[in-house]
Chains A and B, each alone.
Chain A
Amino acid sequence: GDSVTQMEGPVTLSEEAFLTINCTYTATGYPSLFWYVQYPGEGLQLLLKATKADDKGSNKGFEATYRKETTSFHLEKGSVQVSDSAVYFCALSEGYKLSFGAGTTVTVRA
């Protein structure tokens, strides 16, 4: 079946550093791709999405581009803040369901 692989964490950064979280996928069709963020003790929030090849999703300074040729959807942010500390999940749609990556824990230090 379809699946998502994302880089393992944890990732620790200093404030204002550049963040990249790699995500690659395997799919037989043309799924939609998503990034979710989970703050401690909370549910997941949809961060951004892309529904077709070459789409760029963006939100709150985060960006990710749907790359069909490399089957990737890497998450980037140019200057992270302490408030970006969270767990980030890459996901793809599979019919009614989403397949999630294992999650990457990001800690930003002041």
Chain B
Amino acid sequence: SQTIHQWPATLVQPVGSPLSLECTVEGTSNPNLYWYRQAAGRGLQLLFYSVGIGQISSEVPQNLSASRPQDRQFILSSKKLLLSDSGFYLCAWSVLGGFYEQYFGPGTRLTVT
């Protein structure tokens, strides 16, 4: 069966520090991969998605970037965090060519202080 991992689970970082969040998927090949942010009490904002290694689409211009160095690995990064980057970050995957239902990881709670 497929599983998706995210780490770390929680993170507290000062303003101006770098960020690296990692997501890996097991049990499937060539997945579509997604990064979302969920601000407190709000819905989901799609940040990036990827349909293959090295292929990244950005939905919202901002202080973040994403990379996909391997088929089942998706990384979210920032060079300098802002207070507004605080939130709950969710990684998700979907099957290429399916009905595009997405399966979510457990999330990373980021607090920028």
Contact = CB atoms under 8 A, between A and B. Distances in A.
Contact of B106 (A43, A46, A98): A43
Contact of A96 (B43, B94, B107): B94
A89 interface: yes
A98 B100 contact: yes
A22 interface: no
B35 interface: no
Contacts of A95: 100
Interface residues of A, number: 21
Interface size class of B (residues with CB under 8 A): 20 to 34
A79 B109 CA distance: 33
A89 B101 contact: no
Given A46-B103, A89-B43, A97-B46, 5 more contacts: A34-B101, A36-B104, A43-B107, A96-B32, A100-B44
Interface of A: 32, 34, 36, 41-46, 49, 51, 89, 93, 95-98, 100-103
